Amino acid sequence: MPTSTTVASQATVSESNRSRILQHLYYHGICSRAQIAKALGLTPAAITKITARLIEAGIIEETGDMEGRLNRRSIGLNLDPTRFHVIGVKFARSLVEIGVFDLSGTALSIEDLPTVSEDTIPQTIADIHTKVGALLDADPAIIAIGMAVPGPYLREAGYTTVVSSMQGWRTINFLDEFDTAFRVPVFVEQDARAGVLAQHLFSDDGHCNNLAYYLLGEGVGLGVIDHGNLINGAQGTATELGHTSVDVNGLPCDCGNVGCLERYCSANAIHERINAAGIIADSPLMTHRQACNALFGLVCDGDRQATAILDEASRYIAYGCVTICNMFNPERIILGDIVSGAGQRLLDIVRDITSRRVSAEVIEATDIRLSQLPADATVAGAAAVAITQFLTTPSRFFDIS
């Protein structure tokens, strides 16, 4: 008689095989059963059994004849990325974005909520409940919600330990607030890790199994995939690059440290320098994104003060890249979010400094580039968090007996 341990083990193997099949179809498109069996090293009988249940559950579908080996006709299987949708919610201190995406990462809608302040955080939370509820009511194809929140995020506890420049977010327990609030499951992840998932799922970086996403937004963060696995740490707060000190006698940070990297090159820090320089009219009334974009426009026009501000921030960003290279040795580093909008000038400075400060063997094997995702990588990353869960544990979303 099978023991409970044996049954649990069999269920784990079954879920793993379902996940492998879904991921293969996700990355490779329409495939025959024989092609899947060969690629995954499973028997044709096993593939037939598993895919039959996936078809019955409505997750994948048969697409008709396709050419197989020796000119034989085979029936194709497909995971249609337009069939299922997910919601992504990005939290970034003063900015909250809500988007609906299909499984390929195509944005069907993206909406910014009103700019958030310390006083309006409770209203923003209420707005999220209302907006997400309305999206779910309007779209039965939505199967999950992903949320990307500023780090350090304590995954099991459900809250962030520090949110520089807006500590009110620390009072929000994201799990208590959202875990059972909607008809579909909710998954919460640190923003930079969500960003690296987006790069891995939705761009040509999908084949890269040693990938770093360097988030340069209202905070500075890092998400790292190492040999195909997301680096999390014991509590989920690993890779918190923004709170690495780059100046032991530097500016104080809300985290309790001094000289933290994000105090010098985040969108907030750049906005502070713009205000102090007085080079953009009404900059104190702008959002961080608006102020940074205005600065980048002045740089393109040749403004010397604006260029000096950008170049200084770019040097600090480069020092962060040096740390990433030496600490994680990724194959590729992607610069993303608000500050990456500075474009080629930022990239050139980062590449120049890292080429001089990282050993030749390491930097020559490291590709540093700007994010090419059409939508904000973090809100797309929030969607990617949900999609990853769907691909990894499909039985959480559908009855697959």
Task: Clarify whether residues 101 and 164 are in a common domain.
Answer: yes
Domain-located, residue 233: yes
Among candidate residues 7, 82, 74, the one with its CA nearest the CA of residue 47: 74
Predicted confidence at residue 2, as pLDDT, reads 57
- 310 versus 95: the higher-pLDDT residue is 310
**Residue 67's pLDDT band (boundaries 50, 70, 90)?**
low
Task: Clarify whether residues 69 and 96 are in a common domain.
Answer: no
Predicted confidence at residue 72, as pLDDT, reads 66
Query: How many CB atoms lie under 10 A from the CB of residue 69?
Result: 10
The length of the chain is 401
Choosing from 78, 106, 124, the residue where a domain stops is 78
Predicted confidence at residue 376, as pLDDT, reads 64
Task: Clarify whether residues 218 and 361 are in a common domain.
Answer: yes
Predicted confidence at residue 289, as pLDDT, reads 92
Predicted confidence at residue 95, as pLDDT, reads 87
**Residue 6's pLDDT band (boundaries 50, 70, 90)?**
low
Choosing from 47, 78, 109, the residue where a domain stops is 78
Res. 300: pLDDT tops 90: yes
User: What CATH number did the domain enclosing 388 receive?
Assistant: 3.30.420.40
Tell if the pTM clears 0.85, that is, is over it.
Answer: yes
Task: Clarify whether residues 146 and 212 are in a common domain.
Answer: no
- 66 versus 209: the higher-pLDDT residue is 209
Q: pLDDT digit string (tens) for 213-271?
A: 999 999 999 999 999 999 999 998 899 999 999 999 999 998 889 999 999 999 999 99
Domain-located, residue 161: yes
Res. 204: pLDDT tops 90: no
Q: What is the mean pLDDT of the chain?
A: 92
User: What CATH number did the domain enclosing 19 receive?
Assistant: 1.10.10.10
Q: pLDDT digit string (tens) for 15-30?
A: 999 999 999 999 999 9
Distance CA 124, CA 168 (A): 12
Task: Clarify whether residues 135 and 185 are in a common domain.
Answer: yes
Whole-angstrom CA distances from 237 to 107, 161, 248, 349 are 28, 9, 22, 29
Q: pLDDT digit string (tens) for 132-171?
A: 999 999 999 999 999 999 888 998 999 888 766 678 888 9
**Range scoring the smallest mean pLDDT among 196-210, 232-246, 295-309:** 196-210
Res. 377: pLDDT tops 90: no
Which residue range is the domain that position 140 belongs to? 85-197+379-396
Whole-angstrom CA distances from 86 to 228, 258, 382 are 23, 39, 9
**Range scoring the smallest mean pLDDT among 35-49, 154-168, 354-368:** 154-168
Task: Clarify whether residues 189 and 218 are in a common domain.
Answer: no
Strands 229-230 and 332-336: unpaired
Domain-located, residue 112: yes
Q: Which residues pair with 332 in a beta bridge?
A: 211, 367
Domain-located, residue 401: no
The mean pLDDT of 268-293, rounded to a whole number, is 96
Res. 306: pLDDT tops 70: yes
Task: Clarify whether residues 236 and 252 are in a common domain.
Answer: yes
Q: pLDDT digit string (tens) for 107-138?
A: 999 999 999 999 999 999 999 999 999 999 99
Task: Clarify whether residues 23 and 132 are in a common domain.
Answer: no
- Strand order through the sheet with 73-78: 31-32, 73-78, 61-67
At residue 198, the 3 state secondary structure works out as helix
- Residues above pLDDT 70, as percent of the chain: 94
- Residues above pLDDT 90, as percent of the chain: 81
Task: Clarify whether residues 281 and 308 are in a common domain.
Answer: yes
Res. 341: pLDDT tops 70: yes
**Residue 70's pLDDT band (boundaries 50, 70, 90)?**
low
Choosing from 78, 98, 131, the residue where a domain stops is 78
Task: Clarify whether residues 313 and 267 are in a common domain.
Answer: yes
Domain count, the chain: 3
Task: Clarify whether residues 318 and 230 are in a common domain.
Answer: yes
Domain-located, residue 45: yes
Task: Clarify whether residues 177 and 101 are in a common domain.
Answer: yes
Domain-located, residue 260: yes
**23, containing H or E segment:** helix 4-28
Domain-located, residue 209: yes
Q: 64's torsion region: left (phi>0), alpha (psi -120 to 50) or beta? A: left
Domain-located, residue 324: yes
DSSP 29-55: -SEEHHHHHHHHT--HHHHHHHHHHHH
